[in-house]
Amino acid sequence: MNRTTDWWREAVVYQIYPRSFADASSDGIGDIAGIRSKVPYLKELGIDAVWLSPHYPSPMLDAGYDVADYRNVEPIFGTLPEMESLINELHAVGIRMLIDIVPNHTSWDHPWFKEALAAPPTNDKDAPAKSRYAEGPWSRYHLLRGQDGGTSEPNNWDSVFGGPAWHQVNDADGKPSGWWYLHIFDKSQPDLDWTNEEVRADFRTTLRFWFDRGIDGFRIDVAHGLAKAEGYPDCPPLVEKDPTSKNPYWDQDALHEVWREWRALANEYEPGRVFVAEAWVHPAERNARYLREDELHTGFNFPFLRAPWDAHRMHEIIDFTMEADALEGAPTTWVLENHDVWRAASRYAPLISDVAEEVESDGNLTLGDERDWDKPRDHVIGRERARAALLNMLALPGTSYVYQGQELGLDEVFDIPGEMRQDPAFITTQGERVGRDGCRVPLPWDTSSASLGFNDGAELWLPQPADWKKYAASVQAEDPDSALSLTRQALQLRKELPALGGISEGVEPLVWDIALDGLLSYVRPARLGGKAIRVVMNTGLEPLEVPKSGDVILESHAGCFLNGVLVPDSTVWLWA
């Protein structure tokens, strides 16, 4: 174990979604210059690393997850030299930098796809259904002959954003060719064929391109999607949304070969570079296979993100994810928010109509948990729970991910007018699915402009709610009880208290204290001369007596722990 290179085992990584972080150019969309202006803020927040969502040239039909050039910077965001300055400036203040990479698909604006479209397939009416067209430029993508003489999709696969996962290509005369390309996401995101060595070699070049510029690692988009089952079999009924190997386009064994290749490449660097997998795979043991010693370093813990507001369920999830990852010697990570899901403050907010009833996620959380999104919720409770959940997360052993604005306690924004919404899930389903724009609203920084310091007041790509002034970072910085102050304190204590670290020395199981109805409690044992810490969270509806309590280190809101009793919707760190 090398403590210097294993920083990723217990870091706090802050996700920056560049469109919505800070806009120095005042065109309404965030940019690299905006991020550079906030490096002091990031330093003061106390994070260890940044993960930047895609910054590559893109037509932005999926907010940059549709990449047209993997070795450059989107002009809206800035230039390559600016990107290099950002890397250096973060490093200068001791913050590492991960960037996103999107290997499952390119944009339809990528030169490879344009080249493919310019080489229309022959309209071979006699070609059997599902035959592969793997010649020339099309061999980098999945192009198949449709069924019923080419008139219908090659199989029943659905796109994650709604509708079929196939789009028909025209022949040279502009008529439907009978050949269809695969797009598991939007039709502007054709899937790459990873059995093609040219594709693999080109991504190796991209990895080196960024590693050579000082990037510390990559977050790998859709790491469970690269291989498709041979023969493109139909998806069995009811398996459609199932991220297991039963689904012919998720979690296929063949893709692990790619991760082994990437790991070997990352290991060539000194210090070694790291990967975090975005893999929505279950069961946890299968997910852990992505973290084998010669594959990826870590992966997101999505079961934790999807946990309902229930101590018992959280206990189970913390335990089984740690156990599964430990089988591969990997540390577990923790995440509550990202750019694809509802803000925690809204996700945990109970419906007003039935405060007591908690509905467990239906598994469709990945594109924003869209259950009852238009029904009123108790956001006061939601915000308290989000603070409590954050404090619990930051005490768990291993790396935690914080999504921009989570430190400000932002809510999901629901009242974005339809014509401003940009998520392909909203557009493809014509509004049937509300999509993910609600967690992507530009950040409120201060009260200096109509856009709350996001830019000089120019119109934003997504509107901020009228009451967001109270969330502005500058306002919260003055308030010792704000979400921002709480996050800063927690991150500071994480650095100071030895008991909250230690996972670099090996994967230790948590010491559970109690997980009673509504009460989650565990101890982080004493180490390096520091004292043990007990973490207690109350997800129940009643105040609960904490059987073993010590002096308070930090409370999720002031006064939530008094005389040994913890109020609902709160977390406390105590000396054990």
- Per-residue binding string, ligand ISL, 401-430, x by CB under 6 A, is ------------------------------
**CA 480/CA 486 separation, integer angstroms:** 8
Q: Check residue 275 for interaction with ligand ISL (CB under 6 A).
A: no
Residue 199 CB, shortest distance to ligand ISL, in Å, is 16
Active site residue 221: yes
Q: Check residue 280 for interaction with ligand ISL (CB under 6 A).
A: yes
C-beta of 281 vs 484, nearer to ligand ISL: 281
Eight-class DSSP state of 341: S
- For 398, residues 6+ apart whose C-beta sits below 8 A from its C-beta are 9, 10, 331, 332, 333, 334, 503
Judged by CB under 6 A, the chain residues 194 through 223 that form the site for ligand ISL are: 221-222
Residue 445 CB, shortest distance to ligand ISL, in Å, is 24
CB count within 10 Å of CB 201 equals: 10
Please give the helix or strand (H or E) that residue 88 lies within, else none: helix 80-92
- Which of 230, 253, 268, 517 is catalytic? The answer is 268
Residue 165 CB, shortest distance to ligand ISL, in Å, is 12
Q: Check residue 335 for interaction with ligand ISL (CB under 6 A).
A: no
Q: Check residue 185 for interaction with ligand ISL (CB under 6 A).
A: yes
CA 420 to each of CA 189, 372, 423, 437, 464: distance values in angstroms, whole numbers, following the listed order? 21, 21, 10, 9, 12
C-beta of 53 vs 464, nearer to ligand ISL: 53
- Per-residue binding string, ligand ISL, 143-182, x by CB under 6 A, is -----------------x----------------------
Q: Which residues of 29-48 are buried (b: 16+ CB within 10 A; e: fewer)?
A: bbbbbbbbebbebbeebbbb
Q: What are phi and psi of 85, to 5 degrees?
A: -65, -40
Eight-class DSSP state of 276: E
**CA 440/CA 427 separation, integer angstroms:** 16
Residue 170 CB, shortest distance to ligand ISL, in Å, is 25
Active site residue 268: yes
Judged by CB under 6 A, the chain residues 98 through 127 that form the site for ligand ISL are: 102
CB count within 10 Å of CB 333 equals: 28
C-beta of 65 vs 522, nearer to ligand ISL: 65
Residue 463 CB, shortest distance to ligand ISL, in Å, is 20
570-575 and 533-538: which strand pairing? antiparallel
**Strand arrangement of the beta sheet that strand 166-170 belongs to:** 143-145, 176-182, 166-170
- Per-residue binding string, ligand ISL, 63-102, x by CB under 6 A, is --x------------------------------------x
Residue 367 CB, shortest distance to ligand ISL, in Å, is 6
- The closest alpha carbon to 441, from 475, 477, 474, 417, belongs to 417
Which two three-digit tokens encode residue 120? 């229309």
The C-alpha R_g of the chain, in whole angstroms, comes to 24
Q: Check residue 454 for interaction with ligand ISL (CB under 6 A).
A: no
Residue 516 CB, shortest distance to ligand ISL, in Å, is 33
How many residues contact ligand ISL, by CB under 6 A?
14
Catalytic residues: 221, 268
Binding site for ligand ISL (CB under 6 A): 62, 65, 102, 160, 185, 221-222, 243, 250, 278, 280, 339-340, 366
